[in-house]
Amino acid sequence: MTLPKEIRGVVWDWGDTLMRDIAGQAGPMVDWPHVETMPGAAEALEALSGIPTHCVASNATESGGAEIEEALERVGLGRYFDHFFASSEMGVSKPDPSFFQEVSRRLGIAPEYLLAVGNDLARDIEPAKAAGMITVWVSLGDGDGEWMGKGVSAEGPADLVVDGLIDLASLAGESVVPGSGGTLGSSG
């Protein structure tokens, strides 16, 4: 997998990208009796761990950054992240592209050096791309062209489409190595 620019950070969506948003649960996810990761989350985070900065950027209204971090700690994923952003604390929410511009500003990384990973075309992918980020749509099995009927361009809404996070992990593989400056793809 080769992306067009050096990646300095990854902006991860939270619900149904990293952690399953379980129907019927109320309140902050950290307080739910049962929480679980999406399949392949740990593998994808490990495969991309050579990229210097990772953050969660969520439309969470019942959880702030601290609660998001605690929920990720419950499933052993907290160690991968440097920053936690919730729309409830940012004054802007998805699908407004300014949400992603604000994440970029707070990280101190220009959008073209950020990889945005999410499962929702309208809330994650299209606004992140409009903000100038490189995008990975985790289609959850809906990536075989069905998106073309959802009012997006024939070129596709995302820079990369994967069926699940395990596919992203496989694509990244050993391509992102610590100290490489976050370069994805073969070195040759």
In tens, the pLDDT along 43-98 reads 999 999 989 999 999 998 888 899 999 999 999 999 999 999 999 999 999 999 99
**CATH assignment at residue 94:** 3.40.50.1000
- Please check whether residue 124 is in contact with residue 93, taking contact to mean a CB–CB distance below 8 angstroms: no
Residue 173 sits at φ, ψ, to 5 deg, of 45, -130
Q: Report how far residue 97's alpha carbon sits from residue 123's, in angstroms, rounded to the nearest whole number.
A: 9
Indicate whether 178 belongs to any domain. no
Domain that holds residue 151: 9-52+67-172
- Please check whether residue 68 is in contact with residue 58, taking contact to mean a CB–CB distance below 8 angstroms: yes
Indicate whether 98 belongs to any domain. yes
Indicate whether 183 belongs to any domain. no
Indicate whether 181 belongs to any domain. no
Number of domains composing the chain? 1
Indicate whether 57 belongs to any domain. no
Burial of 124 (0-12, 13-18, 19+ CB in 10 A): buried
The DSSP bridge pattern shows strands 134-138 and 160-162 to be parallel
The structure's pTM equals 0.84
